[in-house]
């Protein structure tokens, strides 16, 4: 009996030591297999159609579950980004989006939370694609200043990378971005086609985000499918007009009820401006109810909310955030989260939604 116990203990010791050595110094075949599995899963594959990936659904308020505002749009073989908030480049990778294949960035306006990740997006697109031409940054008047600022800020970094990797890997001519400005009049419902290539049409339109001006939204059209992105806006008739008959409306949303609770308790945080800011932001973002009214008026097939204010620590608060929104829209309202893929296949009228990470 003692021999059996001793043998069992010996086997246990051997297995423990072997396991420890295996974990602390795993064999190459295991590491190689893991690397292949990870890398092969880092490329999003979609069928021909119009697709939107909610890369970032957050706001300037700190949110552990959401990065800054950014929506990737795939139209056929084209890949775009609408806004580039902090963390956009990281989530591009997590979603399996080939950042080196990015064709252009569209900016809705120049609030810091919508442009904070632009430098990193431009850099990673350049490096990943060995591009010889800068990335087109399309936006309303003022985009020139934004792009020039990021190009200047990354000038030294560009120099370092060329010196390290060589001009063949990272061609100096392809670094940074190129501003492509457009102008809209002061008329509330003014719009303009700002991109029309390879069957992809993008229309920019004014939205209500005063005192921020210019501020716009975008409508993407491809093979009979359409997605409208509101940008930051209060209730806006122009959004309803552009979204009329669209498949999907992706609209920003702020819950006045929840923001007011933060306002009422702002003194608990050592931030002397939080009380004032949480009062100010109420008038230039749409509430979930207002977004629902816009969607109903436009007759869109699907409403997706993004730019969620305030941060929600748990999805159990989704109903509190939505309030009475469902009373104003006959369709289903989706609470957008980082990594959500919205797919509109080109061969039918379906709308498919799933999480990528």
Q: In Å, how far are 171, 218, 285, 332, 354 from 288, measured between CA atoms? A: 46, 20, 10, 13, 22
Q: Is 307 helix (H, G, I), strand (E, B) or coil?
A: strand
Q: Strands 225-229 and 248-254, how do they pair?
A: parallel
| Residue 163: partners with Cβ closer than 8 Å, 6 or more residues away | none
Catalytic option among 63, 83, 103, 113: 113
Q: In Å, how far are 58, 59, 149, 267, 307 from 273, measured between CA atoms? A: 20, 17, 27, 10, 21
- DSSP annotation string for 29-49: HHHHHHHHHHHHTSS----SE
Q: Strands 333-335 and 78-82, how do they pair?
A: unpaired
Residue count (the chain): 357
Please give the distance of CA 27 from its chain centroid, rounded to a whole number. Answer: 38
Considering only CA atoms, which of 240, 186, 194, 237 is closest in space to residue 213? 186
C-beta of residue 55 within 8 angstroms of C-beta of residue 70: yes
Q: Is 113 in the active site?
A: yes
CA–CA separation, 217 and 215 (whole Å): 7
Tell me which residues are annotated as active site: 113
């Amino acid at each position: 009996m003692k021999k059996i116990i001793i043998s069992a203990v010996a086997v246990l010791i051997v297995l423990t030591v072997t396991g420890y050595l295996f974990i602390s110094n795993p064999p190459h075949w295991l590491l190689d297999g893991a690397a292949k599995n990870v890398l092969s899963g880092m490329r999003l594959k979609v069928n021909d159609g119009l697709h939107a990936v909610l890369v970032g659904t957050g706001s300037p308020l700190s949110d552990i579950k959401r990065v800054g505002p950014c929506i990737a749009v795939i139209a056929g073989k084209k890949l775009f980004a609408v806004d580039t908030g902090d963390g956009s480049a990281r989530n591009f990778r997590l979603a399996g989006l080939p950042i080196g294949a990015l064709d252009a960035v569209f900016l809705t306006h120049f609030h810091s939370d919508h442009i904070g990740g632009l430098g990193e997006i431009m850099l990673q697109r350049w490096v990943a694609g060995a591009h010889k031409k800068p990335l087109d940054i399309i936006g309303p008047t003022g985009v020139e200043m934004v792009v020039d600022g990021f190009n200047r800020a990354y000038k030294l970094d560009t120099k370092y990378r060329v010196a390290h990797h060589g001009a063949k890997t990272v061609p100096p001519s392809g670094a940074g971005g190129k501003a492509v400005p457009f102008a809209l009049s002061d008329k509330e419902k003014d719009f303009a086609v700002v991109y029309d290539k390879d069957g992809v049409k993008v229309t920019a339109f004014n939205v209500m985000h005063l005192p921020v001006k210019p501020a716009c939204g975008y409508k993407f059209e491809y093979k009979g499918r359409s997605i409208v992105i509101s940008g930051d806006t209060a209730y806006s008739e122009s959004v309803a007009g552009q979204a009329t008959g669209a498949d999907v409306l992706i609209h920003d949303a702020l819950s006045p009820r929840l923001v007011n609770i933060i306002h009422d308790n702002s003194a608990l945080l050592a931030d002397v401006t939080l009380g004032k800011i949480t009062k100010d932001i109420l008038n230039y973002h749409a509430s979930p109810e207002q977004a629902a009214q816009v969607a109903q008026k436009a007759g869109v097939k699907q409403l997706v909310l993004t730019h969620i204010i305030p941060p929600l620590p748990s999805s159990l608060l989704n109903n509190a955030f939505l309030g009475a929104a469902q009373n104003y829209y006959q369709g289903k309202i989706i609470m957008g989260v980082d990594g959500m893929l919205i797919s509109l296949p080109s061969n039918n009228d379906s709308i498919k939604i799933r999480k990528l990470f």
